[in-house]
Amino acid sequence: AKAEGRNRFHYFSESLQSIAIRRMSVHSDLRTAIKREEFVVFYQPQFDSHGKSIIGIEALVRWQHPSKGLLNPADFLDIAEETGLIVEIDKLVISAASKQYAQWKSQLPSFDNIKMAINISARQFKDEGFLPTIQTTLEEFSLDPSNIELEIVESELVQDFTIALSVINRLNDLGIAVAIDDFGTGYSSLSYLKRLNVQTLKVDRSFLEDVPTSEVSCRLLRGLINLGKSMELKIVVEGVETQEHLNKCIEYDADVSQGYFFAKPMIASDIEKFF
């Protein structure tokens, strides 16, 4: 039993070691990536309540790694968050997405009232430079604050509620809308949510699982949409993968639908075919 215990410990420490090695190597690669601006922004279109016309675009970061190829957030975001490098990455994305927005606005004739959704880490809220960066970026590309919307995941918002409350208020003063991402997964109490001046709820895609086959899942989706509506928020349903999903979004009157049924995230030039 003793030997077994020692082996188990050995195994355990080895896996911890490999986690540590991955962390160190991704960490140092990320630093370089920020200096060399190896990040690419992909874009996913969002559709109106009938699922007919494009009304928004979400910017989603990718990392063009010199040897590993194109990496998804799942491959590096945890370490970027832990090390705080996410703050720099988000700024690069804000800048690239704003520049792209300005270009589309000047080139695409029907590019009107399109909102660009940009994901940010709640870590930005503790960064003094965040609000000035946003303002400078909007000015640099002559964007209106109403052109962009910032998305923050629900679970991060509740961690530092007081700070989130004040930064969101300041964003609102600047005319920038804020969305709560992955809504329904963050265990935030409704009394907290009520106090945040957000404009949009993005219902997490897990709520589309078993829709429309499960009656309970359908009612839960409808309930979440109605909850948001009773708070007078714009409701986005993400992860719409099938015609049946879209039908439910239409039936329950979601404002915006987004998902693989319409399109996967794509490079900027591919977005242009939607206009």
Cα 143 from Cα 158, distance rounded (Å): 30
In 34-78, DSSP assigns E strands to 39-47, 54-65, 69-71
Q: How far is the CB of 9 from ligand C2E (least distance, A)?
A: 35
Give the residue, chosen from 29, 90, 149, 151, that forms a contact with Ca ion under the rule CB under 5 A: 151
The site string for ligand C2E over 166-185 (x = CB under 6 A, - otherwise) reads ---------------xx---
Please report, as residue ranges, which positions from 109 to 128 form the binding site for ligand C2E (by CB under 6 A).
Answer: 119-121
**154 contributes a contact to ligand C2E by CB under 6 A:** no
Cα 108 from Cα 223, distance rounded (Å): 38
**188 contributes a contact to ligand C2E by CB under 6 A:** no
- CA angle 227/116/184 to nearest 5° reads 25
Do 256 and 47 form a contact (C-beta atoms < 8 A)?
A: yes
| Tokens found for residue 174 | 């600047």
Do 120 and 149 form a contact (C-beta atoms < 8 A)?
A: no
Q: How far is the CB of 15 from ligand C2E (least distance, A)?
A: 25
**149 contributes a contact to Ca ion by CB under 5 A:** no
Q: How far is the CB of 163 from ligand C2E (least distance, A)?
A: 16
Q: How far is the CB of 267 from ligand C2E (least distance, A)?
A: 13
**153 contributes a contact to ligand C2E by CB under 6 A:** yes
Do 40 and 17 form a contact (C-beta atoms < 8 A)?
A: no
Please give the single-letter amino acid code of residue 231. Answer: M
Do 54 and 45 form a contact (C-beta atoms < 8 A)?
A: yes
Which region, judged by CB under 6 A, interacts with ligand C2E, from 5-13, 49-57, 67-75, 135-143?
Answer: 67-75
The site string for Ca ion over 102-121 (x = CB under 5 A, - otherwise) reads -----------------x--
Q: Please, which residue, 218 or 239, has the CB nearer to ligand C2E?
A: 239
- CA angle 62/187/83 to nearest 5° reads 40
Cα 116 from Cα 148, distance rounded (Å): 5
**93 contributes a contact to ligand C2E by CB under 6 A:** yes
Contact set with ligand C2E (CB under 6 A): 44, 60-61, 72-74, 77, 86, 90, 93, 119-121, 151, 153, 181-182, 205, 238-241, 259-260, 265
